[in-house]
Amino acid sequence: MRLRDLGEFGLIDLIQRKTPRTPGVRLGIGDDAAWVSTADDSLLFTSDLLVEGVHFSLDWISMRDLGHKSLTASLSDIAAMGGRPAYFLLSLALPDLTTQRAAALIRGIHAVAAEHRVALVGGDTCAADRMIIDVFLAGFAPYGAVTRGGARVGDDIYVTGTLGDSALGLALLSKPRAQVSARDRNYLIRRHHHPTARVKTGMQLAREGLARAMMDVSDGLAQDLGHICRASGTGAVVRQELVPLSPAFARVAGPGDLACALAGGEDYELLFTAASGDRKSVERVARRTGVAIARIGECVPKKHGVTLVDPRGESVPLAAPGYDHFKGAC
Amino acid sequence: MRLRDLGEFGLIDLIQRKTPRTPGVRLGIGDDAAWVSTADDSLLFTSDLLVEGVHFSLDWISMRDLGHKSLTASLSDIAAMGGRPAYFLLSLALPDLTTQRAAALIRGIHAVAAEHRVALVGGDTCAADRMIIDVFLAGFAPYGAVTRGGARVGDDIYVTGTLGDSALGLALLSKPRAQVSARDRNYLIRRHHHPTARVKTGMQLAREGLARAMMDVSDGLAQDLGHICRASGTGAVVRQELVPLSPAFARVAGPGDLACALAGGEDYELLFTAASGDRKSVERVARRTGVAIARIGECVPKKHGVTLVDPRGESVPLAAPGYDHFKGAC
């Protein structure tokens, strides 16, 4: 069998099966970040690998945005555990860039690092014929870590911000459309190139004990909600008209673009579940952290699967595969 | 200016200059590993990036050895801080291998992980047209971290094991030689493909407070001793006849191969300095941890530079450049 047949999650399963259990590791492979307990502290670890030609094209993204995005992906993982990001290492393979371009990359990284008060503490560098950026981020989990496995039947399902902007921005980059205003185009592409990690919101949800299961939407709502349901042993119903869309998305999206909101990746929004009695508290977290939080559905018994109720009231399986690195595009 | 002109260390300097200072970070960019203090713990972080075609060729190394070597490089960094390695993440970009080959890579990693009791806790994966392995390793520094900057004039300079085997093994791989026995060839190539991280020795030297400055020899003795001298504000004199060579190296090496022992990389031996009054204690650590430790010279005032005394008693600058990823081979 080849990796193409096994797929990305098959490979991760293979690695996981071969990995022995270790005391102190509260949560190893398979969630947004690893969670280990030392004497007095809970530590979170995550890494995000970006490879030129696989995750980004230098024809499209500026070095500064690339720096921003590469750290944001890891910050979002720590946010999705309800943790406080703290220290990161940077592994960089670079082609023979100008030093200005290399410096712009570093500036982009440090701008978002400063915003979240995380410190670059090390890494590795080498020359290569294509760019590789791997960010390792360590953080703390002062309120414990919110895993993917805590959702219960009856929980509300929430998502921060809006979904699909990043995927639609990518679609506009790869195939320009005539009827799109420059403003909408720029907004959507910026959401693809300059995403925001919801660190404060994630921490506040953990601090108040509201999020029972949480992850970030990096592979698309359909796939990522599937991860929560599998880990928690529940099903889910999502109401399509409740999935939050940006005004730009609503203006630009054609009938074929709904898939961007349901299965498109790299939104870096938080997807979480909370008890239905906690709705007012969740709304307060949204106001307090200045991030919109939309209730999009609820957890149901596992036997009902993961479904989408479309605007006509019809249920369809929400089983879009998202993106698998080894099998190819969704 | 381009990265080729700036060089690897120029790039690291650039990143370092743009990186703000942060409380809690006791040691950031520039040593073998980062050192941060949390409430009660000292943590060490390091990463090592291996790129196919840059650091290794799949024509030469087995997947199992590659797995072994990729984690060993990071273990050696934690060893060089006198730390205890604990948790690692694995970022893997893989071409479309057979799953057997992917599994062999993971087995190689876990074999050395088990030996050092470190746990794989996460990472990232993607498909790419060449292999990329990035290991992020976190550890503890129960005795504080031994940096590169603690050497003092009059200190003895020590190195574990033998030097140059790895570089000579690599030379034999790239250009076979007629007069070399299969046994010597295999030994030297194995030292290149299957190096050993001196974790126990590094920890014991830290525990007993013997090593004042320490690093691992990954870029060659000349370059790495230069790092210690620069960080410590000293010079150094190394006696060529004291540089430890393996019997295989001594048998195989021609007159042109001494550079392998002095400037060849990837030995993953420990290079450290200790007070001259501690010789007996250092010898005891060698016996106790089962690793040979050779005294190869001493630290002198900075103005004398870093020199090698050859067997005829003549001093020459020990200034071989080692390997710079952006400028090319030494």
The answer to whether residues B190 and B249 touch, using CB atoms and an 8 Å cutoff, is no
Alpha carbon separation from B248 to B7, B57, B190, B296 (Å, rounded)? 34, 24, 12, 20
| Shortest Cα–Cα distance, B203 to chain A (Å) | 19
Inspect the interface and report whether the beta carbons of B34 and A107 lie closer than 8 Å: no
The pLDDT tens digits for B278-287 are 999 999 999 9
CA atoms within 13 A on the CB side of A261: 27
Kindly list the residues from chain B whose CB atom is less than 8 angstroms away from the CB atom of residue A322: none
Please, which pLDDT band fits residue A81 given cuts at 50, 70 and 90?
A: very high
- B92: nearest CA in chain A? A49
> Residue B281: phi, psi to the nearest 5?
-65, -40
The burial class, CB within 10 Å (0-12 / 13-18 / 19+), for B53 is: exposed
Cα dihedral A137, A138, A142, A143 sign? positive
CB contact under 8 A, B121 and A11: no
Q: CB A190: neighbour CB atoms within 10 A?
A: 15
CA-based nearest distance B86→chain A, Å: 10
The average confidence (pLDDT) of chain A is 88
Residues 6 or more apart whose Cβ sits within 8 Å of residue B43: A43, A138, B35, B36, B37, B138, B139, B140, B141
Q: A91 vs B14: CB contact, 8 Å cut-off?
A: no
DSSP letter, residue B49: E
pLDDT for A329 equals: 44
At A135-179, the pLDDT tens digits run 999 988 888 889 899 999 999 999 999 999 999 999 999 888 888
Contact A29, A69 (CB under 8 A): no
Cα A315 to the center of its chain, rounded Å = 26
Higher local confidence (pLDDT), A148 or A20:
A148
φ/ψ of A128, rounded to 5, equals -155, 170
Residues of A whose CB is below 8 A from B99: 1-3, 5-6, 10-11, 14
- For residue B330, the model assigns a pLDDT of 33
- Chain B residue at shortest CA distance from A95: B3
Nearest CA in chain A to B42: A38
Alpha helices in B116-154, H assignment, sequence order: none
- Dihedral of alpha carbons B44, B49, B50, B54, sign: negative
What is the phi/psi pair of residue A89, to 5°? -115, 155
What is the Cα–Cα distance from A226 to A219, expressed in whole angstroms? 11
Q: How do residues B131-170 score in pLDDT, each as one tens digit?
A: 999 999 998 888 888 989 999 999 999 999 999 999 999 9
Alpha-carbon distance of B72 to B64, in angstroms, equals: 12
Tokens of A131: 């760019």
Which chain B residues touch A91 with a CB distance below 8 Å?
A: 47-49, 91, 134
User: How far is it, in rounded angstroms, from Cα B178 to Cα B150?
Assistant: 45
Burial of B49 (0-12, 13-18, 19+ CB in 10 A): buried
Distance, in Å, from the CA atom of A71 to the CA atom of A175, rounded to the nearest integer, reads 27
3-class state of residue A198 by DSSP: coil
CB pairs under 8 A between A and B: 260
Assess whether pLDDT exceeds 60 at residue B189. yes
Position A38 confidence tier, pLDDT thresholds 50, 70, 90: low
Compute the distance between CA of residue A189 and CA of residue A61 in angstroms, rounded to an integer: 9
Q: Which two tokens stand for residue B218?
A: 């990954």
- List of residues 6+ apart from B156 with CB closer than 8 A: B273, B274, B275, B276, B278, B279, B282, B295, B297, B298, B299
Which has the closest alpha carbon to A221: A313, A325, A314, A307? Answer: A307
Q: Count other Cβ atoms within 10 Å, centred on residue B37.
A: 16
The alpha carbons of chain B give a radius of gyration, in whole angstroms, of 19
Selected residue of A46, A124, A323 to mutate for chain B interface (largest B Cβ count, 10 A): A124
Q: A284 is written with which tokens? A: 């307060």
In chain B, what residues touch A266 (CB-CB under 8 Å)?
A: none
Q: And the tokens for B239?
A: 């006696």
Residue-wise pLDDT tens digits, B227-255: 999 999 999 999 999 999 999 999 999 88
C-beta atoms of B47 and A122 within 8 A: yes
Q: Write out pLDDT tens, residues A90-141.
A: 898 888 888 888 889 988 998 999 999 888 888 888 888 889 999 999 988 8
- Which residue of A121, A147, A216, A327 is the best one to mutate when testing the B interface, meaning the one whose CB has the most B CBs within 10 A? A121
**Three-state DSSP state, A147:** coil
pLDDT over threshold 70, residue B324: no
Residue A330 confidence (pLDDT): 33
Query: B37, B43, B64, B121: which to substitute to probe chain A, counting the most A Cβ within 10 Å?
Result: B121
Is A93 strand, coil or helix? strand
Is it the case that residue A42 has pLDDT exceeding 90? no
Write the single-letter amino acid at A49. Answer: L
Q: What is the pLDDT at residue A33?
A: 63
List the single residue in B with minimal CA-CA distance to A328.
Answer: B127
H or E element, residue B231: helix B221-232
**What is the spatial distance between Cα A169 and Cα A308, in angstroms, rounded to a whole number?**
24
What local confidence, expressed as pLDDT, does residue B228 receive? 94
B181: pLDDT confidence band, cut at 50, 70 and 90? very high
Chain B positions in Cβ-Cβ contact with residue A10 (cut-off 8 Å): 99
Q: What is the pLDDT of residues A248-281, one digit of tens each?
A: 999 999 888 888 888 888 999 999 999 999 999 9
Answer with the residue of higher pLDDT: A234 or A27.
A234
Distance from CA of A330 to the nearest CA of B (A): 15
Chain A positions touching B41 (Cβ under 8 A) are 38-41
Residue A224: pLDDT above 60? Answer: yes
Tell me how close the Cα of A242 comes to any Cα of chain B, in angstroms: 32
**Closest-CA distance of chain A to residue B181, Å:** 34
Strand order in the sheet with B213-217: B213-217, B269-274, B156-160, B293-301, B234-239, B306-309, B315-317
Beta strands in A234-305 (DSSP E): 234-239, 269-274, 293-301
* Least confident piece of the model among A311-320, B268-277, B296-305: A311-320
Parallel/antiparallel/unpaired status of strands A213-217 and A132-140: unpaired
How far apart (Å, rounded) are the C-alpha atoms in residues A33 and A214? 11
Of A14, A86, A95, Cβ closest to residue B99:
A14
The answer for B46, left when phi > 0, alpha when psi is -120 to 50, beta otherwise, is: beta
Q: Mutate which of B55, B116, B124, B129 to test chain A, going by most A C-beta atoms within 10 A? A: B124
Least CA distance to B52: which residue of chain A?
A: A128
Q: What percent of chain A has pLDDT over 70?
A: 89
Give the pTM.
0.88
B41 CB-side CA count, 13 A: 17
